[in-house]
Structure 1
Amino acid sequence: MIDYDSFRHFADSWGLLYMLAVFVLVILFMFRPGAKRHAETAAQIPLKDDRKPAGEE
């Protein structure tokens, strides 16, 4: 059975390394070639009006 001290020791060592690796991968993913177009498209989503004009159904 895993006790608190064992779990904390694992989280302090390997958990920190895992979180750092995930952070670096996310940063690399965001700055990959071609990501700018996807980021600009995602940034425009809240500004789009997807509703149909009144009277059109």
Structure 2
Amino acid sequence: MDYNLMREFADSWGLLAMALFFVGCIAFALRPGGKAHADHAAQIPLQDD
């Protein structure tokens, strides 16, 4: 592949893919019931076995 072709791809579709991934991560973190899972995960290192 040519450098310019790869750069064009990264400038257009790569940016779109990264933006969609970012929005998906934010939506996943803010989903209903997510706070309970986050609170549980935050307490795991503090638990004594």
Q: Which runs of 4+ in 1 moved over 3 A?
A: none
Gaps of 5+ in 1: 51-57
Q: CA-atom RMSD, angstroms?
A: 0.8
Identity between Structure 1 and Structure 2 (%): 61
Higher relative helix content:
2
Equivalent pairs, count: 49
Give the TM-score taking structure 2 as reference length. Answer: 0.91
Q: Which has the higher contact order (CA 8 A, sep 6+)?
A: 2
User: Residues of 2 paired with 1:46 and 1:9: CA distance?
Assistant: 45
